[in-house]
Structure 1
């Protein structure tokens, strides 16, 4: 369809309202959010797209045979051709899985393995890299020998610049779940989420609010706040209550209608969906979401998903589906305090964009391949990997284990090259930066961030495995990575692991 961006969005909105009125029309809840769900293809190398195994969001993976172990030898490899790989950290800066796992562990419940997405743990726990200069990205590769000869840990951090001291004006549209299942702690967390965001607003920011249960209601439209914790917004939050069924479809449609009505090309425009994940969303809504987030002639209206729990009955397939299409962040609140920790203290990381459509390219020496990848996916075909946005004050972290076809052929002088390409967030200017270092230089360099990354991965992978041995080994690694207990995040992980019912 041709026409202006606003015309195309309005057309999609009409289709959504007319074509899919609710849950029954949009899909069977037992079918998942889009009628089916993909399960990652494993941690094995190859030319096809590779994702982490067992990281489906909506349901447990079906049983299937493990890919056969392949013997990686130097025979047939071209010594003149270095492998070039394209990496993806995550589809939407998701950070929901670790907070869900934490809530379950504190209740003495083992997190289901398929809900533990390792790359989200790397997103959630902060690995400190030096900030890039304004408008640029900083690449930090680190490498460490593993216990097995020819095996190496390789971690790449891609860090943005810090948030601006004065941020741009915002138009925020809250789409709030007020169905009956939101009663109790989910509603308390939802209110805390809105209040935490409201605490960071400034005069002139615009807020819209739609609630949805069996029906939907427009609570605020074009409400211009007078500053932090605006009384009108606070009154709307205080009036929220839980009752009725779920009609997310029309709630989203009205939310986007308001977001479109009050859209500002120089503003940060976000739709913020908060739910306990027990609703469903049809194909029409996901197309609606995607149409507003697409990269048109101006920045789109991105969708941020906030899960309100509780974790023992939460279905995060909803938030995964909508944030994937909506190009926004996905967070989970395991407490009201978490709302303030993430939505106030990490506001820019959740809401803003520092670099658009970041593509990360890794060139390895001819004799190395990825043995295990802890990001979302990688491929030798750049077209298979969708570029991702990066927030200010944030870093994409790519951690992988690489293997040499023969330890004897490793040349410490051979280069490892990492290139990041991206667009500036508002002007769409194409930018690029490259870092190159020899294998020897990397092995002799710093490993502080790599060590923390490995400890976080050990925690997540132990939760997936669920054995006493894996859990105890992970705790030992976490403690060793945190001498003196100076890192509060690693200290928290060390306390959480023994809460697992299979730890002892």
Structure 2
């Protein structure tokens, strides 16, 4: 299997991949390289090789630590259960704020989507999501609300409001939508991508490493020929597997993908340090320079304290090297570490559980969004205390900023790439009966077009609604209410709506062919059929 894929890539390279120039089409995949096969054949490959005592002999994994040791040639590795030893941290409850006490709401924008992908993995495996895994804004930002790209400047701002579908009389939902400028593959800068790949024993659980291999193959066959890929691997120690290599040399990249094998403990610190060292050596100030960490988030050798790891990453991000974290696997998975690393690395956090999700991330989304168009992006909403009695920001609990930070351009905030779309939802309750069209507050965005550059600010008014909710606002409210219900927030508990209520709303939006409604409906159907998360180990 491996030799066939390598030879096919050699033929592809020899037939003209190296002749491509900047701005040309991506390197061909087609029948010559089958990224899906790494994922689908991974278990079968381990079984065949282990039975023969081959290179992929199974690795025994300690589910509580990720440590590993060689097992006998005919013994399959013990696997933690789907619910065992996962690390999630509750970010808090999106509670109400009295406007008279604090009329300003300030936060850093966030483009992470990992929390929703994790939830989908839970329901697809027959379990309700772990409540602590739910970060509401990551659910909302997993859907496209059709906001237009800006025509003048890096960011565009869309504000819409309507009566809250399940909020009770007088409660209004406000969606603040932020869109970034689009960038074609031909127009974006060259990309230098350094993969830091966890090849420890825990990555041999189920098909994790196979899905990483598929992800690499997908990216390699969809980058431009002038882009480069480097690979660093880490288990007990870290080592370079592939020096920065132009995508035009596809055969060399595929050989490195084929060489990925699991084993050892998990020294994430060593992997990241070596990965950043490699990224610095190939750094090009005119290019996109990014480190992509592919891991299950386990760290049990070297520095394992998230605060220390994130401090090291923050220093590297200041040098213009961004970090994207991509999580794989469930059962012995550390969501908290992967999300925190991305926040500190001026990048974003995604989670890949299926080949289709790998295609979405590595083919459709990753490459254009690697080019940062807005640095240290912050939002501030100021409510009129004569109009608004109280409000709540739904999500962004771990991205809140002091109100004075909004105009302090030295404060680190969120980075947005080309083609990103971000939304923030508020619920607002009036002081008295509100007149449609009456201004209830203002929303402001602030960002820099380059690191350390002069800040730009964009402002818009927020008004009381005078019309029915748009389909985009109804979808956003449906997604956030689903997250709140499954998380068990105090607001959802007070309102008493059910998954069946939300499913009925999703069915109606799907009948109207609202973009994203079918995906929301499929999720709700799976959530209805799923059992409770329950204590670890009860899934069997």
TM-score with structure 2 length normalisation?
0.72
Deviations 1:225-255 (A, max 9, x none): 317xx12111100111111111111111111
The aligned length equals 427
3-state SS, counterpart of residue 323 of structure 2: strand
Question: What CA RMSD, in Å, does the superposition of the two structures yield over aligned residues?
Answer: 2.9
Instruction: Map 1:42-441 onto structure 2 (within 5 A).
Output: 42-46=93-97, 77=100, 83-90=103-110, 93-133=111-151, 135-146=153-164, 148-166=168-186, 167-183=188-204, 184-226=206-248, 230-280=250-300, 281-282=304-305, 283-294=307-318, 300-309=320-329, 311-348=330-367, 350-366=369-385, 367-377=387-397, 378=400, 381-383=403-405, 386-404=412-430, 406-408=431-433, 412-425=437-450, 428-436=453-461, 438-439=463-464
Shift of 1:160: 1.1
Bigger drift between 259-268 and 97-106 goes to: 97-106
Shift of 1:100: 1.4
Shift of 1:486: 5.1
Q: Which runs of 5+ in 2 are unaligned?
A: 1-64, 67-86, 534-540
Q: Name the CA distance, whole Å, in 2 between partners of 1:497 and 1:217.
A: 42
Q: Name the CA distance, whole Å, in 2 between partners of 1:200 and 1:233.
A: 13
User: Contact 1:206 / 1:222 at 8 angstroms: preserved in 2?
Assistant: yes
Question: For residues 143 and 338 of structure 1, do their structure 2 counterparts lie closer, same or farther at Cα, with a shift above 3 Å needed?
Answer: same
Q: Name the CA distance, whole Å, in 1 between partners of 2:248 and 2:88.
A: 44
TM-score with structure 1 length normalisation?
0.77
Residue in structure 2 matched with residue 490 of structure 1 by the alignment: 520
Question: For residues 392 and 251 of structure 1, do their structure 2 counterparts lie closer, same or farther at Cα, with a shift above 3 Å needed?
Answer: same
Residue in structure 1 matched with residue 58 of structure 2 by the alignment: none
Q: Which runs of 5+ in 1 are unaligned?
A: 1-27, 30-35, 47-71
Bigger drift between 111-120 and 156-165 goes to: 156-165
Shift of 1:108: 0.8
Q: Name the CA distance, whole Å, in 1 between partners of 2:401 and 2:269.
A: 35
Question: For residues 272 and 109 of structure 1, do their structure 2 counterparts lie closer, same or farther at Cα, with a shift above 3 Å needed?
Answer: same
Deviations 1:268-289 (A, max 9, x none): 0001111112225334432221
Question: For residues 500 and 155 of structure 1, do their structure 2 counterparts lie closer, same or farther at Cα, with a shift above 3 Å needed?
Answer: same
Q: Name the CA distance, whole Å, in 2 between partners of 1:400 and 1:223.
A: 46
Q: Name the CA distance, whole Å, in 1 between partners of 2:266 and 2:276.
A: 18
Shift of 1:470: 2.5
Residue in structure 2 matched with residue 9 of structure 1 by the alignment: none
User: Contact 2:279 / 2:289 at 8 angstroms: preserved in 1?
Assistant: yes
Shift of 1:432: 2.1
Shift of 1:359: 1.7
Question: For residues 388 and 480 of structure 1, do their structure 2 counterparts lie closer, same or farther at Cα, with a shift above 3 Å needed?
Answer: same
3-state SS, counterpart of residue 284 of structure 2: coil
Shift of 1:455: 1.1
Bigger drift between 213-222 and 349-358 goes to: 349-358
